[in-house]
Amino acid sequence: MTGDVGEATAASFLRSALAADSAVFPLAGFPAWLERQREQQRLEVRRIPFAALDQWHFAPDPCRLVHRSGQFFSVEGLRVETDFGPVRSWEQPIVNQPEIGILGIVSRSFDGVRHFLLQAKVEPGNIAGIQLVPTVQATRSNYQLVHGGRSPTYSEFFLQPGRARVLVDRLFAEQGARFLRKRNRNVIVDVDQDFPVEEGFVWLTLGQVGQLLRVGNLVNMSARSVLSCALPALDGANALAGLAAPGPFGASLLESLQAPGGVQSQAELLDWLFGLRARHRMRLQAVPLDRLRGWVRAEDEIRPESSAHFSVVAVDVTAVGREVARWSQPLLLHPATGLNGLLVQRIGGVLHLLVRACLFPGNDELFQLGSTVSRADVDKLAGAPDAPAFLEHFIAPPPERVRYDALQSEEGGRFLRYQSRYLVVELPQGQAVDLPANFRWMTVRQVATFNHFGCVNIEGRNLLACLDFSA
């Protein structure tokens, strides 16, 4: 009764976040293990013209880039019109992959500390080869075996009733700027029994994952998204009273996770978010991929006429190592390094995060909550008149104000070596900040509550996963 399960789970997540190492798999052994995985899984990736794609072609009416099977995903053209923001209409390519997939992590208690089973996996777009991904990453076609083959390892824990206890099960949107209405289940289950751990899988505490998140480009985007759910909210936050963080920033995070209110109440924050959703409009229209206004279709690239932004390219992939395979596929190329930045500040003694309401064409719901700044093309914008709000705080932040700084990359199955600098910067107490209408200060508990209701976008979720309770 009265939320015991939710509170016990929440406490187990936070205790795991405070466990910086573990005897189950000590981090000291991680570099050697990673090296072994890298040897076993390598991909050779080279760009090719679209005409050299094996199973992919441009289908007509309207022109779009599709797989011969009709499965996987397609790249389509989209026209966007809105009454919000500095740019009111544009055209762009977008990835259409309407299936809901599973991003699932198996967890288990060892000596009273919850560990999470992650998998070493290589994707063609990855920067450093192997990354740690959820226990299971499966599209609906995957796990329903539409393409034949065997079901993904450990998928039974997510698909067969009674095999595991669900701790978190959410439906979250992917990048709304690049995917059209793509959503995935983000699931964490508890397995209360021994089972064989296959080569390439590893049990880690959240504190260990936190150490690896500091390295950069090691814990993939999907894993970060799922782990954002480990920040408890609602009744879960009641259970944290006995916990203590080793350092001042972690202590601020824990306090903010338990604070009963913030500079605004949750009710006022809902007023603000729903008010934006009610007042603004976005209209989408399919357009042929070869006639996108402002874009050029070349032999090996669909790219913007002017800016750097992003382009659609094709790659040929050869897997070498224990398995040999070869395929080709489209990927999205972002030539610049992006920025995913979060400003935080102690206000009234409680740490607050500066959250931005974002409108992206691919999201079902107008306006989700995101980080303070998230931009692909940030390099050229610093100091420009159309620079995004608060960008200046992330250009050369004083080192003593930086609470997190690492390069993290987007999902390597769709993005070709696209990385962003993730930065958490703390403003001095009392420094006044003018808030544009689509920004609000929120406590960690308030952001986590919005996250559990599916209102935080993937950039925001990824930064939540990088908040370091051990700092």
Of 114, 170, 403, 461, the one binding its own copies by CB under 8 A: 170
Question: Which window, 76-84, 301-309, 333-341, 449-457, contacts its own copies (CB under 8 A)?
Answer: 449-457
Q: From CA 293, how far away is CA 37, in angstroms rounded?
A: 44
Q: Is 348 in the site for its own copies (CB under 8 A)?
A: yes
Residue 199 Cβ vs its own copies, minimum distance, rounded to whole Å: 30
| Nearest CA among 446, 20, 452, 410 for reference residue 230 | 452
Residue 329 Cβ vs its own copies, minimum distance, rounded to whole Å: 26
Q: From CA 18, how far away is CA 4, in angstroms rounded?
A: 21
Residue 43 Cβ vs its own copies, minimum distance, rounded to whole Å: 30
Contacts of 70 (CB under 8 A, 6+ apart): none
**CA 87 vs CA 76, 80, 90, 216, 342: distances in Å:** 21, 10, 8, 32, 23
Q: Is 190 in the site for its own copies (CB under 8 A)?
A: no
Residue 63 in contact with residue 76, Cβ under 8 Å?
A: no
Residue number with CB closer to its own copies (171 or 296): 171
Q: Is 3 in the site for its own copies (CB under 8 A)?
A: yes
Question: Which window, 75-83, 231-239, 288-296, 312-320, contacts its own copies (CB under 8 A)?
Answer: 231-239
Q: From CA 97, how far away is CA 180, in angstroms rounded?
A: 7
Tell whether omega for the bond before 62 is within 30 degrees of 0, i.e. cis. Answer: yes
Of 264, 308, 395, 433, the one binding its own copies by CB under 8 A: 264
| Nearest CA among 283, 332, 335, 368 for reference residue 93 | 332
Among positions 234-263, residues that touch its own copies (CB under 8 A) are 234-236, 238, 259-263
Contacts of 5 (CB under 8 A, 6+ apart): none
Q: Is 17 in the site for its own copies (CB under 8 A)?
A: no
Residue 333 Cβ vs its own copies, minimum distance, rounded to whole Å: 31
Of 83, 88, 274, 379, the one binding its own copies by CB under 8 A: 274
Pairing relation of β-strands 311-321 and 402-409? unpaired
Residue number with CB closer to its own copies (260 or 385): 260
Residue 445 Cβ vs its own copies, minimum distance, rounded to whole Å: 9
Among positions 389-418, residues that touch its own copies (CB under 8 A) are none
Residue 470 Cβ vs its own copies, minimum distance, rounded to whole Å: 24
Of 39, 44, 81, 271, the one binding its own copies by CB under 8 A: 271
Residue number with CB closer to its own copies (232 or 250): 232
Q: Bridge-partner residues for 212, per DSSP? A: none
Tokens at 10, concatenated: 């929440």
Q: Is 233 in the site for its own copies (CB under 8 A)?
A: yes
Residue 332 in contact with residue 47, Cβ under 8 Å?
A: no
Of 145, 146, 166, 382, the one binding its own copies by CB under 8 A: 166
Q: From CA 379, how far away is CA 421, in angstroms rounded?
A: 11
Q: Is 171 in the site for its own copies (CB under 8 A)?
A: yes
Q: From CA 229, how far away is CA 16, in angstroms rounded?
A: 13
Per-residue b/e over 233-261, b at no fewer than 16 CB within 10 Å?
A: beebbebbeebebeeebbbbbbbbbbbee
Give the torsion through C-alpha atoms of 425, 427, 428, 433, to 10 deg: 170
Q: Is 169 in the site for its own copies (CB under 8 A)?
A: yes
Residue type, 208: Q
Can you give the C-alpha Rg of the chain in angstroms? 22
Among positions 31-50, residues that touch its own copies (CB under 8 A) are none
Binding-residue total with its own copies (CB under 8 A)? 50
Is 434 strand, coil or helix? coil
> 3-class secondary structure for 23-46?
CCCCHHHHHHHHHHHHHHEEEEEE
Question: Which window, 196-204, 267-275, 353-361, 375-383, contacts its own copies (CB under 8 A)?
Answer: 267-275
Q: From CA 107, how far away is CA 88, in angstroms rounded?
A: 45
Tokens at 430, concatenated: 């009392």
Residue number with CB closer to its own copies (212 or 358): 358
Residue number with CB closer to its own copies (147 or 165): 165
Q: Is 266 in the site for its own copies (CB under 8 A)?
A: yes
Residue number with CB closer to its own copies (127 or 263): 263
Residue number with CB closer to its own copies (39 or 365): 365
Of 241, 267, 324, 432, the one binding its own copies by CB under 8 A: 267
Of 95, 231, 369, 455, the one binding its own copies by CB under 8 A: 455
Residue 135 in contact with residue 209, Cβ under 8 Å?
A: no
Question: Which window, 28-36, 67-75, 114-122, 166-174, contacts its own copies (CB under 8 A)?
Answer: 166-174
| Count of beta carbons in the 10 Å neighbourhood of residue 337 | 15
Residue 159 Cβ vs its own copies, minimum distance, rounded to whole Å: 10
Binding site for its own copies (CB under 8 A): 1-7, 9-10, 100, 166, 168-171, 183, 185, 232-236, 238, 259-268, 270-272, 274-275, 277-278, 347-348, 350, 364-365, 449, 452-455
